[in-house]
Amino acid sequence: MTGGAMDPLPTAPGAAAAEAEVDEEADPPAAGRLFTPEPPGKPPCALQCNTKRKRENTHSPVPPVSEPRAPDAGQMQVPPGNPLLLSLTLQELLARDAVQVELVPEKKGLFLKHVEYEVSSQRFKSCVYRRYNDFVVFHETLLHKFPYRMVPALPPKRMLGADREFIEARRRALKRFINLVARHPPFSEDTILKLFLSFSGPDVQNKLKESAQCLGDEFMNCRLAARAKDFLPADIQTQFAMSRELIRNIYNSFHKLRDRAERMVSRAIDNAADLLIFGKELSALGSDTTPLPSWASLNSSTWGSLKQALKGLSVEFALLADKAAQQGKQEENDVVEKLNLFLDLLQSYKDLCERHEKGVLHKHQRALHKYSLMKRQMVSAAVQSREPESVEQLESRIVEQENVIQTMELRSHFSLYCLHQETQLVHVYLPLTSHILGAFVNSQIQGHKEMSKVWNDLQPKLRCLFVGPHGAPAPQRPPQDGLSAH
């Protein structure tokens, strides 16, 4: 896996506790800006010595951002080249796994019936049964472990009134979700994916929760996390803003394409239904057994022969309807579903950008805000000549808060590191556009070709409908002025 080697790194309980303490503070101004602010200035001269001594005696969980820790040869081996860059093709990505999600016909449960899905993985050669709630716990575990990655959203849950159409739409959405996850580089190498796709025990939810509790998130386990800033380009914020705008535009265009493709599929299915009904009505007309009145035979009525011709036309119209339905179904699977898959990916990128701004950056700014409050308290304590013990406690809190800020800065850089890779991953998926267009064009060509053949086979059967006054075939020309002949 490029740029995503996952080796355990000793976690720092003090940093986690300090982060939790920061969340209790009031929101600072200018939250959500796309930059990493620098911490406030140093303590006053009268307090620098004590603060420095306290810092030396405190084991910081992470090194300061301005002075990255030199890697230990036994702990960290940076792979050759820049690990930030992904070297993947769409074919390699799609070949990672193909997961099928099929609906189990019978609902389970003694009192409250629930839907169950058969989930089969080509990679793990596995077949397991999962409920929607199992997917929910798996999704939560992914977000907990990979907060800086694109985690696709799950389809919504409907408590009551889940009809067949809703269940089928949710099955398709779950299939898209699990395939995006199974092909995602860091996810595909993680144990929780293998657990979800291959564990056949009775309680997969508890297994997933236990797995999440044992390890921290990706930042705590990735040995490159503390050095993420070293691999980022100098104009990362500019690149991030441009990429976000580009992907937003791509999302809007693909959303419109998907809507139009759905409408074309709907029209194909409606066309199939109309053709079928059209043929049945012709057959019903030809099968009518109402006696012919005597006055109708005075002009050598051809109604009898017409009825025989109309009666057999339902077969061809049923075949036309079947061809139209097949084309609609094929475009739903090969065009609409692939558009939905790409839209799910793009939406997960948009969600990730929002988490980046409202999550790690927001926490970083709140930590800086709390730090500035502490520094003001320190200055006030020095001016008022408080007891040494209270000053010492305040110094300890300031040092602890400095460690929190350092951790937040490292997390901010690691978040941008992951965002850079996730942006690359979106672009790896972009050639899927040619697959979608190819499937759409081929479906149209094949569908029109097959329907054209049926129409051509139908035409000779209509000759008996066009007979002249002496029984000879009449030219099959449409009337020039509506239905009246002159």
DSSP result, 120-157:
EETTTTEEEEEEHHHHHHHHHHHHHH-TTS--PPPPPP
- Average pLDDT over every residue of 255-276: 96
Q: What is the CA angle 411-211-223, rounded to 5?
A: 35
Residue 185's contacts (CB-CB under 8 Å, 6 or more residues apart) are 1, 2, 4, 86, 88, 421, 425
Q: How confident is the model at residue 223 (pLDDT cuts 50, 70, 90)?
A: confident
Residue 156's pLDDT is: 87
C-alpha to C-alpha distance for 415 and 225, rounded to whole angstroms? 9
Phi, psi of 336 (to 5 degrees): -65, -45
The residue written with tokens 């067949």 in the block is 164
Contact assessment for residue 441 and residue 336, using Cβ atoms and an 8 Å cutoff: no
C-alpha to C-alpha distance for 356 and 342, rounded to whole angstroms? 21
Residue 6's contacts (CB-CB under 8 Å, 6 or more residues apart) are 186, 189, 190, 218, 221, 222
Amino acid at 433: T
Length of the chain: 486
The residue written with tokens 């937003």 in the block is 248
pLDDT in tens, 335-391: 999 999 999 999 999 999 998 888 766 565 665 656 566 566 656 666 566 566 666
C-alpha separations of 117 from 113, 188, 340, 433 in Å: 13, 21, 20, 29
The listed range with the strongest mean pLDDT (127-131, 211-215, 400-404) is 127-131
CA proximity to 76, closest of 191, 226, 190, 219: 226
- Average pLDDT over every residue of 61-69: 39
Amino acid at 130: R
Q: Within 13 Å of residue 156, how many CA atoms lie on the same side as its CB?
A: 5
Amino acid at 129: Y
The residue written with tokens 């030396």 in the block is 56
Contact assessment for residue 199 and residue 128, using Cβ atoms and an 8 Å cutoff: yes
pLDDT in tens, 318-344: 999 999 999 999 999 999 999 999 999
Q: How many CB atoms lie within 10 A of CB 426?
A: 19
Please state, rounded to an integer, the average pLDDT across all residues of the chain: 77
pLDDT in tens, 104-138: 987 665 555 678 999 999 999 999 999 999 999 99
